[in-house]
Chain A
Amino acid sequence: QVQLVESGGGVVQPGRSLRLSCAGSGFTFSTYGMHWVRQVPGTGLEWVAVILYDGSEKYYADSVKGRFTISRDNSKNTLFLQMNSLRVEDTAIYYCAKDRGFCSGGTCYVRNWFDSWGQGTLVTVSS
Chain B
Amino acid sequence: DIQMTQSPSTLSASVGDRVTITCRASQSISAWLAWYQLKPGKAPKLLISKASTLEGGVPSRFSGSGSGTDFTLTISSLQPDDFATYYCQHYNNYPLTFGGGTKVEIK
Contact = CB atoms under 8 A, between A and B. Distances in A.
Contacts of B64: none
Interface stretch (B19-27, B39-47, B66-74, B75-83): B39-47
Nearest to B41: A119
A44 B99 contact: yes
Given A44-B100, A113-B49, A114-B36, A119 B94 contact: no
A59 B46 contact: no
What interface size band does chain B fall in? 20 to 34
A97 B98 CA distance: 14
Interface residues of A, number: 24
Given A113-B34, A114-B46, A45 B101 contact: yes
A113 B91 contact: yes
B43 A112 contact: no
Prevailing SS type, chain A contact patch: strand
Interface centre among A45, A46, A50, A117 (most CB of B within 10 A): A45
Nearest to B101: A44
B94 A46 contact: no
B46 A113 contact: yes
Given A100-B49, A113-B34, A113-B49, A44 B44 contact: no
Contacts of B99: 44
Contact of B96 (A100, A112, A117, A118): A112
A45 B87 contact: yes
A119 B44 CA distance: 8
Contacts of A39: 38
Nearest to A115: B46
Closest 3 CB pairs of A and B: A112-B91, A47-B96, A113-B34
